[in-house]
Chains A and B, each alone.
Chain A
């Protein structure tokens, strides 16, 4: 049976500035709708994906969280991540109501946009969310492209070392010196491979840490689905490790969420 792929990093939507944010790479071919995502997934042969809407970051977070939930209704192959805000302002469901709201909407995790949503990515600002995330194994999807620095991620993990973090380091330069210490230190940190393109990088990483901490991610629509798929498909590692990276690890994380 051929390798199945479960993508941990797919977005869609209509940004306010189609030409891209100042100082950030342009998305040349946006995917405005969930249908556009599904069409491209089918073309590339991607079975499932965790998705978010760009408007969660660049538009109206609350509305976009709801739009995402609406979009995912009936989409068995897609799972969503809601943008998180500090609970102090009560804009999104409070922590005690959050699991049920997520379960009703195919939401399996949270994303942090601290820069655009203007909050501090500190333990004291997010403490109740961190406690809930650890208690219910809810993954936190964090990308350095969204205003979260690696230093901030390290601070957060120091407060909640058991936290499940899907970490996207948004720089295609080989980054093992930055990322491997997170994997070594924190048992539930997994790396989104969207920008992990180093030649021989998969083989070297798996040889050191095993295959359980790498997740296939494409970064679609900014990047092609197929580029990282081919890299994993022909990596010089065991087939069982390819299955883990392509789909198994993310399936384990999603199945482990207790809502």
Chain B
């Protein structure tokens, strides 16, 4: 039963997937990674989960894109981006990619050309400052920020509460400068549950994302209490973490079903409406 106060919880418990409550996953990956055994690492396997839970679309950056810089000869699509683009082309109604910003091997000319040539494949960029050891506000990133800001794209960054690379201070440096892009704080500044809501109050283009937040009982409850549910996005790191687990946590947290719908799909729908390809997909699926 999970939560007797939530009609959504009772329906998810009984039915598993709800046609009137689709899910948009704003933080996914794909393919293999050295540190993990992932049974569902291929897009076909991820789709099985997505179908079972009614995840309408997942926005992802593949592990190969994020972690294999050696096969990225200048001027040519990197192997990882090639894989990611291929997955989107194969399943255009279900996946869109974040183009990686590989901070130690930047090639803005090639990367931004690839973005410009494939606007239907990418929603924006993915930063991972803690992994690369390069702060989010590093001047070398500026071409990417400018590109995203001029076009109102989505930028997902790994964020962690006490990080010098992608903590609240670094994120705020970017937000002070760029007001048209949408900055998605992956993991919602994990462990520093106060600062995310503070920043949300000040910056309407900041969204908090829930991957790895949902295994902490009370964290989502606190975020919603402090800043409401309208700038919070669902995410799971799929194929890392079970989508069912994430849904179950949202259904367990202290918030209303209207808040849950905001988190599961309403906020995401509003963001994705900026892309011309989204309306048709959404009307077919939702």
Point out residues on A near B: beta carbons under 8 Å.
Answer: 2, 25-29, 43-45, 172-174, 176-177, 195, 197-201, 203-204, 220-231, 233-236
Contact = CB atoms under 8 A, between A and B. Distances in A.
B156 interface: no
B239 interface: yes
B2 A198 contact: no
A200 B49 contact: yes
B227 interface: no
Contacts, number: 127
B263 to A, nearest CB: 14
Q: Which of A29, A174, A228 has most chain B Cβ within 10 Å?
A: A174
Nearest to B236: A199
A174 B37 contact: yes
A44 B242 contact: no
Nearest to B251: A226
A172 B37 contact: no
A197 to B, nearest CB: 5
Contacts of B12: 230
Contacts of A204: 39
A231 B249 CA distance: 10
B134 interface: no
A227 B252 contact: yes
B52 A234 contact: yes
Contacts of A229: 2, 248
B255 to A, nearest CB: 12
Contacts of B52: 234, 236
Contacts of A228: 245, 248
Interface of B: 1-4, 9, 12-13, 16, 35-40, 45-46, 48-49, 52-53, 191, 193, 212, 214-219, 221-222, 236, 238-249, 251-253
A25 B247 contact: no
A223 B3 contact: no
A177 to B, nearest CB: 5
A43 B241 contact: no
Contacts of B219: 28
Given A201-B242, A226-B9, A221 B217 contact: yes
B244 A28 contact: no
21 contacts: A25-B191, A28-B219, A44-B252, A45-B1, A45-B4, A173-B36, A174-B36, A197-B245, A198-B240, A199-B38, A199-B236, A199-B238, A200-B39, A224-B214, A224-B253, A225-B252, A228-B245, A231-B244, A233-B244, A234-B53, A234-B244
A195 B1 CA distance: 21
Nearest to A204: B39
By Cβ-Cβ distance, the 5 closest A-B pairs, closest first, are A230-B248, A28-B218, A226-B2, A45-B1, A226-B252
Nearest to B218: A28
Contact of A28 (B9, B214, B217): B217
A45 B247 CA distance: 17
B167 to A, nearest CB: 17
Contacts of B244: 230-231, 233-235
Contacts of A226: 2-3, 9, 248-249, 251-252
Contact of B214 (A43, A174, A198, A227): A227
Contacts of B216: 25, 28, 222-223
B241 A28 contact: no
B9 A197 contact: no
A235 B52 CA distance: 10
Contacts of A203: 39
A174 B249 contact: no
